[in-house]
Amino acid sequence: MFNYRVLAIIKRELRERLFSKAFITTTLLIPGLIIVIFGVQALLYSTESKNLNFELITENEELTSAFVYEFSNADFVKEKNYVFLYKTMTKEELKKHLEEIRNKITDESLTGVIFVPSSALKDKKIEYYSKSPQNIALSRELNGPINKVLVDAYFMNKTLNPEELEFARRGVDFAGFKVSEEEQIKEEGYGNIILAYAFTFLLYMSLLIIGQITLQSVIEEKSNKIVEIVLSSVEPKELMTGKILGASITGLVQMGIWLFTIMGVVSSSWITLPDNLVLEIDTKVVLYVLANFFIGLVLFIGLFATVGAIFDNPQDASSGTMPIMMLIIIPFFIAFSIMENPNKPYAEIASLFPFSSVIVMPARMTLIDVPTWQLIAAILINILTIIAIFPVAGKIYRVGILITGKKPKWSEVVRWLKQ
C-alpha cells in the first residue's frame, strides 16, 4: 500500500502544491480575509449609530433638566456624536408636535423622538417615535442612562443614602465563569468565542480550497490523459493514496502555519488583548485540532478525488461535488449556531458525527470542556468512515479515471462498482 511509488507521488504533489503561488497566496490571504470580515463587521457596528439626532420630550421640566444633566455627560453621547434636543410638553401637545415634524422624521433629518411621560416614573414605560423604531442597538444603549434618570427622579424625594441609590441605579452585570475540570474557575470573556469563530472559518475555508484543488488536479490528469501513463507504472489505488495524502499534508501544513501563528501572536507580548478578549490556545489544543483536521481532510479529499475521477471537466464535476459541499457547509453553520449555546443537544452529536466533527469539534471544545473520550471518538469515527467508504471510492476512481467522453449517469457509476 505504502511504497516508493506512493512516496514519489506524494513528493510530486507536495512540490507542486507547497511552492505554488496558490498555496502561498491562500496561506497569507485567508487570515487577512478573516480579519477584514471581522473588521468590516466592527466598522459597520461602530458607524451605524453615529451622528443621530433625537428629540427627548418629557412632560415636566424637572425630568427634562435631569435628562439634560445626565445625557450631556454620558460617554456614548460624546463618542457617537448624538445630538439631543430637549423639550417639555404634554401628551396632547406631543401629538400636534409630531404632526409638525413628520417630514423631518420621514426624511431622516430627525432620527427619532423619545417621549418620557410622567407615568414612566411608575411603570418605566417610554415611547419612541421614528422611521425605524425597532432599533435594538439603540434601545440597548439608551436603556441604562434613561433608567438611571428615572431611578434618580423616583427616589429624589425619598430618604435614601447614596449607596442605596447607587445600588438601585445599577443594571445587572452578567459575568460568565467557565467551570471546567481544572481547579480554577475562571471568568471568561469573548476570547474563546472569537477563537471558535477563527477555527470554524479556517477549517471551512481550508476544506473547500484543498478539496477544489484536488478536484482540479484529478480532472487535469484525466482530461490531459496523463493518468494512463501514470497507471502504466502504478496501481490506481497507489495513485489515489498518493494524491490524497499529498493534498492532505498540504492542508495540514497550511493549517499548522495558521494555528501556530495565531498561538504565537496571542501568547506573545507584542499585543495585549483587552481582558475580556483573552483567549486560551495552547499547543495541546492546536495539535488536537490539527490531528482531527488531518483525518477529516483525508476523508473529504478522498471524496473530492472520487468525484474528480467520475467527470472529465470542472463544469460537470460541480454537480457531483454538491453533496460533499453540503457536508462542509452544514457543519459550518452548526458550528456557528453552537457558539450561541454550546450545550444545544445536536452540538454533541455533530461534534462526533463523521464529516461534521472536523469543523464542529474544534468550535465546541473551545467553548466548553469536552470529555477526552469524545475527542478521541471523533477522530476514530472518521477513521472508521474512511475504512468503510474508501474501498468503494477506490473502485469508482479506478474505473472512472479512464473513462472520458460524455458525462456519466449515476446509474452507470453504480455499475462501475460491479466491474
Partner 1 sequence: MNSLEVRNLTKRFDKIVAVDGASFEVPDGSIFGLIGRNGAGKTTTIRMMMGIYLPDEGEVILKGTKVGREFKSNVGYLPEERGLYKKMKVLETLLYFAELKGKTGKEVQKKAVEYLKKFELYDRRMSKIEDLSKGNQQKIQFITTILHDPEFIILDEPFSGLDPINTNILKEIILEMKRRGKVIILSTHLIDYAEKMCDHLAIIEKGKIVLKGSIDELKSKYANRNVSLAYKGDISFLKKHNEIVEKIEDFGNSTGIKVRKESQIQELLKLLIDNGVEIKKFDANDISLHEIFVETVGNEVDSESQFSLSDREGINV
Instruction: Give the residues lining the site for partner 1 (CB under 8 A).
Output: 4-5, 8-9, 12, 16, 221, 224-235, 402, 415, 419
Nearer to partner 1, 227 or 335 (CB): 227
Nearer to partner 1, 187 or 228 (CB): 228
Dist CA 203 CA 222 (whole Å): 28
Nearer to partner 1, 12 or 124 (CB): 12
Instruction: Supply the minimum distance, in Å, between the C-beta of residue 404 and partner 1.
Output: 9
Q: Strand, coil or helix: what is 115? A: strand
Please give the single-letter amino acid code of residue 88. T
Dist CA 89 CA 97 (whole Å): 9
| Of 81, 91, 15, nearest in space to 60 by CA | 91
- Burial class of residue 85 in the structure, from the number of CB atoms within 10 Å of its CB (0-12 exposed, 13-18 middle, 19+ buried): exposed
| Of 339, 390, 249, nearest in space to 351 by CA | 339
Instruction: Supply the minimum distance, in Å, between the C-beta of residue 225 and partner 1.
Output: 4
The three cell numbers of residue 138 are: 439603540
Using CA of residue 92, residue 93, residue 99, residue 103, what is the dihedral sign?
negative
Instruction: Supply the minimum distance, in Å, between the C-beta of residue 321 and partner 1.
Output: 23
Instruction: Supply the minimum distance, in Å, between the C-beta of residue 396 and partner 1.
Output: 14
Nearer to partner 1, 23 or 129 (CB): 23
Half-sphere exposure of 308 (CA within 13 A, CB side): 23
SS3 content of the chain, % helix, strand, coil (to 5): 70, 5, 25
Instruction: Supply the minimum distance, in Å, between the C-beta of residue 338 and partner 1.
Output: 42
The three cell numbers of residue 230 are: 501514470
Instruction: Supply the minimum distance, in Å, between the C-beta of residue 273 and partner 1.
Output: 43
How far lies 383's CA from each of 85, 214, 295, 349, 380, in Å?
Answer: 66, 20, 7, 17, 5
Nearer to partner 1, 31 or 246 (CB): 246
Nearer to partner 1, 168 or 234 (CB): 234
Nearer to partner 1, 116 or 401 (CB): 401
Instruction: Supply the minimum distance, in Å, between the C-beta of residue 226 and partner 1.
Output: 4
Triad 271, 77, 163: Cα angle to 5°: 90
